[in-house]
């Protein structure tokens, strides 16, 4: 069955900042959807400005993997939609948090931590190193790739100890950062990927596109086991006490 991907973007910078609009004329969501076009998956897009941010119950129910980009409007996402996304992840939907998507309500609720970092604007070199070359999210990559100019994120990154740390970045200004980290919550696979500041054409880079494609494949739900919750009868006979 074809994997159903929803690419969500707050879509604010592109409308407010001409420089960003030039880099992403179809929006960051458009660039991301374009990057997935050859992967044999079905892609739809949604933004903050759609009714229910484009994440109504039926859309989420049909979504296998939600790719999420957000930054300045993290607080504008409604609590109801955030809760709905979290619940859908727990039930199996994959969730790919890009860049400041780490500060989104759903990601923070899934982590249970502040997700705090240090950062620096201005543009500097980032070298993204593969630290887990056996992980499928690294398929087809070389041992590192470079982002010529970007915002810096620095450690400590206040997230739970990752299930797997896939990438770690070196920054020109002297910091390091765990740029690709994997989690599971309930049945849902979660990947947070650092790159993607709006002021640079990062989602046009082939290596970054490859990581997002790989992450979508990795986060696609699998069947799993049937389970029951709540009050149950005993399987074995219980002695009267």
Site for a second copy in 121-160 (CB under 8 A): 121-125, 127, 129-136, 138-143, 148-149, 152, 154-158, 160
Is residue 130 within 8 A of residue 166, CB to CB? The reply is yes
To a second copy, the closest distance from the beta carbon of 68 in angstroms equals 15
Q: Residue 116's closest CA among 103, 130, 99?
A: 103
Q: 164-171 and 176-185: which strand pairing? A: antiparallel
Q: 212 to each of 96, 139, 160, how far by Cα in Å?
A: 8, 11, 22
- Site size toward a second copy (CB under 8 A) is 81
Query: Which residue is listed with tokens 């049945």?
Result: 187
Smaller CB distance to a second copy: residue 44 or 210?
210
Residue 227 engages a second copy in binding (rule: CB under 8 A): yes
Q: How far is the CB of 129 from a second copy (least distance, A)?
A: 5
Closer CB to a second copy, 156 or 206, in the complex: 156
- Residue 241 as a binder of a second copy (CB under 8 A): the answer is yes
Q: With binding defined as CB under 8 A, does residue 231 bind a second copy?
A: yes
Gap between the Cα atoms of 184 and 91, Å rounded = 11
> What 3-state class would DSSP assign to 210?
helix
Q: Which of residues 163-222 bind a second copy (CB under 8 A)?
A: 163-165, 168-176, 178, 183-188, 222
Task: Count Cα neighbours of 109 within 13 Å in the Cβ-side half-sphere.
Answer: 18
Q: Among 110, 193, 206, 208, which residue sits at the site for a second copy (rule: CB under 8 A)?
A: 110
Which CB sits closer to a second copy, 33 or 192?
A: 192
């Amino acid at each position: 069955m074809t994997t159903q991907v929803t690419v969500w973007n707050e879509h604010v910078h592109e409308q407010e900042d001409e420089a960003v609009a030039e880099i992403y004329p179809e929006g960051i969501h458009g660039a991301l959807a374009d990057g997935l076009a050859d992967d044999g998956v079905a892609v739809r897009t949604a933004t903050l400005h759609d009714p229910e941010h484009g994440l109504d119950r039926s859309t989420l129910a049909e979504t296998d993997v939600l790719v999420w980009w957000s930054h300045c409007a993290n607080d504008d996402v409604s609590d109801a939609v955030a809760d709905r996304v979290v619940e859908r992840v727990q039930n199996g939907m994959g969730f790919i948090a890009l860049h400041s998507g780490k500060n989104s309500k759903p990601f923070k609720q899934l982590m249970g931590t502040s997700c705090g970092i240090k950062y620096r604007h201005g543009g500097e070199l980032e070298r993204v190193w593969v630290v887990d070359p056996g992980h499928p999210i690294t398929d087809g990559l070389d041992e590192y790739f470079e982002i010529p100019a970007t915002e810096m994120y620095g450690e400590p990154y206040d997230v739970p100890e990752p299930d797997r740390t896939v990438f770690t970045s070196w920054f020109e200004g002297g910091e390091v950062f765990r740029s690709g980290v994997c989690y599971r919550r309930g049945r849902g696979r979660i990947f947070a990927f650092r790159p993607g500041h709006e002021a640079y054409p990062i989602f046009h880079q082939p290596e970054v596109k490859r990581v997002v494609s790989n992450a979508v494949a990795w986060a696609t739900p699998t069947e799993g086991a049937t389970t029951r919750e709540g009050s149950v009868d005993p399987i074995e006979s219980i002695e009267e006490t």
